[in-house]
Structure 1
Amino acid sequence: MILAIDVYYIENRAKTVGILFEYWTDTKSDINAVISDYQDNIEPYQSGQFYRRELPCIMSLLKKIDLSSVSVIVIDGYVQLAEGKMGLGGHLYNSLNKSIPIIGVAKKPFAGNSPYLIEVVRGESKHPLYITAIGTPLEDAAANIKLMAGKYRMPDLLSFLDQQTKLFKSETVV
C-alpha cells in the first residue's frame, strides 16, 4: 500500500490525514482508507525546523495504521533541504528506523536543495512539483508522482488529501 499524509493547522491544533491506496494510477474511488488524527498544543512554526511541528502529528497518525502493509509514504514537503540537511521526510524516515521509503512532494522551491530533487511538470502547468526521496531512487519517485492520476499540476489523490485536511476549518470553532 501507498500512504499519503498531509497536516493542516489552526492555531496550535492540527488535523493529520492519511490515505491508503494500492497503485500510483489509482483514483479517488480506489482509496482503501482515509485515516484522521487530531492533535492539540502543536509546536509553533520555526523556520528551517518545520519537522518539529509536523513530525509529532504524523507519528500520532501512524499509530493508527498497520505499517507492515505500507510500501512507501508520500508527504507534503521535502525529504532533503540545502546541503543535504534533512527535511521533514528525512526525519520521518529516521523515526521509522529507515524501514519505509519516503517521497516528498513540494509546491514551492527551497533554496539550495536542487541537487537533491527532480522537478516534475504535470498536465499543462508551467510550474513544477519538487520531488525528493529517501529509501527509494529519486528517479523512480519522480516517475511515480508523474504517473499519478489527474490532469493538473497536483495529482488528484494529493488534492483530495489536501481537501480532507482543510475540512478541519468546518470541524472546529476557530
Structure 2
Amino acid sequence: MRIAILDVDYRSNVARAACVTAPSWATELPLATHVSDIESVQEYEPGAFYKRELPCLLRVLEQLAAKPDVIVIDGYVWLDGACRPGLGAHLYQALGNATPVVGVAKTAFHGAETCPAVVQVRRGTSARPLFVTAVGVDLAEAAGWVRGMAGLHRIPSLLAAVDQLSRSTFETPPGASAANAVAG
C-alpha cells in the first residue's frame, strides 16, 4: 500500500506543503519526503479553510511519482453530523473521488464527541483522542489504520514527521517558489 501523509504550514502569505510517503501503516520512518513552497496563498476564510489549503495539498501531490492508495491529512474530512464537507472531502472530490482520504485531527470541533462521522482514537498512554474521519474507505477501518500507525505517543510518527517537515525552514527566499523532493 502506498500512503501519502500531508500537512501545510503558513508564514504570512506563503506556505510550505509537505508530504511523507510510506509503504505501510506500521512504518516508523518515511520512504520519501516532498515539499512545495507556495509563494501566494489565499487569505483564510472562516468556514472555508479548504479554499486556502487545498491548492497547497494538490501542489505537493503533483510531485509523487505514483498515485497513493490512501491519503492522510491533518484535519477533518467531515465537519459535523450532517457530514458537511471539510478539507478531506474537498481533496477527495478534487482527486476524482478515486483516492481514499483519512482525516486525523488533534482538536475537536463543536459536537465532534457525538458525531457519527467521527471516531475517537486513543494512542499510547494519552487520555486525549485523535479525531478520525474518512471518505472512500470504511470509517472503522480508517480508525484502525490510525490506531496501528507507528509511534508510542498520541501523534503517530509519520504525522509528526510531516508536521516537522512542513514547518522546516524555507529553502528559498520569501516571494520565490520552489518544489523540492528529497529521498528519505
For Structure 1 versus Structure 2, the TM-score category normalised by the shorter chain is: over 0.9
1:73 match: 71
1:53 match: 52
User: What amino acid sits opposite 2:119 in the alignment?
Assistant: I
The runs of 5 or more residues in structure 2 that have no matched partner are: 175-184
User: What amino acid sits opposite 2:126 in the alignment?
Assistant: S
> Does the 8 Å contact 1:75/1:104 carry over to 2?
yes
Deviations 1:101-149 (A, max 9, x none): 0000000101234221100000111100000000000000000000011
Q: Runs of 4 or more off by more than 2 Å in structure 1? A: 168-173
User: What amino acid sits opposite 1:143 in the alignment?
Assistant: G
SS, match of residue 116 in structure 2: helix
Query: In 1, Cα distance between the equivalents of 2:133 and 2:173?
Result: 33
Query: In 1, Cα distance between the equivalents of 2:172 and 2:127?
Result: 35
> Under a length normalisation based on structure 2, what TM-score does the superposition of the two structures give?
0.88
Give the 3 Å change call, closer, same or farther, for CA 45–143 of structure 1 in structure 2: same
SS, match of residue 168 in structure 1: coil
> Does the 8 Å contact 1:101/1:135 carry over to 2?
yes
> Does the 8 Å contact 2:120/2:132 carry over to 1?
yes
Deviation at 1:92, TM superposition (A): 0.2
2:86 match: 87
Deviation at 1:15, TM superposition (A): 0.3
The runs of 5 or more residues in structure 1 that have no matched partner are: none
Tell me which of the two structures has the higher relative contact order, counting C-alpha pairs closer than 8 angstroms and 6 or more residues apart: 2
- Equivalenced residues, count: 171
> Does the 8 Å contact 1:8/1:168 carry over to 2?
no
Deviation at 1:97, TM superposition (A): 0.6
Residue 153 (1) aligns with residue 154 (2): yes
> Under a length normalisation based on structure 1, what TM-score does the superposition of the two structures give?
0.93
Deviations 1:60-108 (A, max 9, x none): 111111343x110000000001221100000000000101000000001
Q: Which has the higher helix share?
A: 1
Query: Among the aligned pairs, what percent are the same residue?
Result: 37
